Amino acid sequence: MIVVAGEALIDLVVSAEGERAVPGGSPANVAVTLARLDQPVRLLARLGADGYGKQLTEHLTANRVDLGWAVRAEQPTSVAVATLDATGQASYEFRLIGTADWQWTPQELPELAGTLATALHTGSLALALAPGAQVLEDLLARERRRDGLTVSIDLNLRPGIVTDRAAEQARVERQVSLAHLVKASDEDLAWLYPDRTVSDVMAGWRAAGVCCAVVTRGGDGAWLLAPDGSMHEEPAVPTTVVDTVGAGDAFTGGLLAALADLDALGDRPAGRLAAVTAEQWAAVLRQAATVAALTCGRRGADPPRRAELDSLLGA
């Protein structure tokens, strides 16, 4: 079972066709992707007590995401206003003050030791916004020390919200050192480290203890730095882009699902990831890129199901 921790919010998508409220939030999107790819997944989220919170609960439950550890919060649901341009690219504005997602307390988090959890994934705003970010960071640190499951982080930075670059550099570097697997986009790294190359950043993560680093590059594909220091590149899968909402989250879900299928997630995570062969890393990247492409080909964060993915990969 993969445990995903972080925000479940509403994307208010604004386009030439008008507005529509759809479930979103990077960690929640990753959880849905995993569930649709037939991976057992449990979401650690704080779900608001309002109508949006009910909409999120119904969406997650309908997609077979286990909410057994979710918190029923008194605060309202966070909202991200996603405005689409003529090419389908999304820009975001967030309504986050006083909302449910960022109010974690240590008492709300479960003990993962002794459960069926093989991986803990988090990232995005959940690791950036106080007070809850510190609570989740402490959880990552505890699980990294225990070495009983794979710790995964997707940076998914939001410079429009957290604008202090130096503080974000310090936070990211601290949190990356707690992870076995780190994923970011080239846009994340261009903002975070404007004077460093992507390969230099990835090498720095490896030196800090990260086993596997992945950087997505939009239409240019993705790079992966494997535990043995080898670099793997996968081109983007051609698609007609409807919009890019949730594409990065779909990539992450596809990546984790592929690793789970290889039994590469779980206790002694460094050894498991080191056992993945070059051929398998190529297949992992191919699956992640395909899941992202299928998501870009439809409106909103709507990742594919296993049968659709298998059909396309088989072809």
* Section 71-86 average pLDDT: 88
Range in 55-69, 258-272, 300-314 with the lowest mean pLDDT: 300-314
The pLDDT, as a whole number, for residue 12 is 83
The pLDDT, as a whole number, for residue 315 is 59
Higher pLDDT, 19 or 111: 111
Q: Which two tokens mark 142?
A: 């505890």
Range in 62-76, 107-121, 209-223, 290-304 with the lowest mean pLDDT: 290-304
Confidence of residue 246 (pLDDT cuts 50, 70, 90): confident
Rounded (10°) CA dihedral 99, 104, 108, 113:
130
Dihedral-angle region of residue 230 (phi above 0 means left; psi in -120 to 50 means alpha; beta otherwise): beta
Q: Encode pLDDT of 277-310 as tens digits.
A: 999 999 999 999 999 999 989 887 899 999 999 8
* Section 108-133 average pLDDT: 96
Measure the CA angle with vertex 50, ends 46 and 56; round to 5°: 55
The pLDDT, as a whole number, for residue 93 is 82
The length of the chain in residues reads 315
On the question of pLDDT at 86 being above 80, the answer is no
pTM value is 0.94
The pLDDT, as a whole number, for residue 94 is 83
Considering the chain, what is the average pLDDT of its residues?
Answer: 94
Alpha-carbon span 122 to 275, nearest angstrom:
24
On the question of pLDDT at 243 being above 90, the answer is no
On the question of pLDDT at 167 being above 80, the answer is yes
> Three-state SS string across 209-268, please?
CCCEEEEECHHHCEEEECCCCCEEEECCCCCCCCCCCCHHHHHHHHHHHHHHHCCCCCCC
Q: Encode pLDDT of 26-36 as tens digits.
A: 999 999 999 99
Q: What share of the chain is helix, strand, coil (3-state, %, to 5)?
A: 40, 20, 40
The pLDDT, as a whole number, for residue 183 is 98
On the question of pLDDT at 314 being above 90, the answer is no
Q: Encode pLDDT of 195-208 as tens digits.
A: 999 999 999 999 99
Query: Which DSSP string do the residues of 103-122 spell out, in sequence order?
Result: ---GGGSPP-TTSS--EEEE
Provide the percentage of residues in the chain whose pLDDT is more than 70.
99
Confidence of residue 312 (pLDDT cuts 50, 70, 90): confident
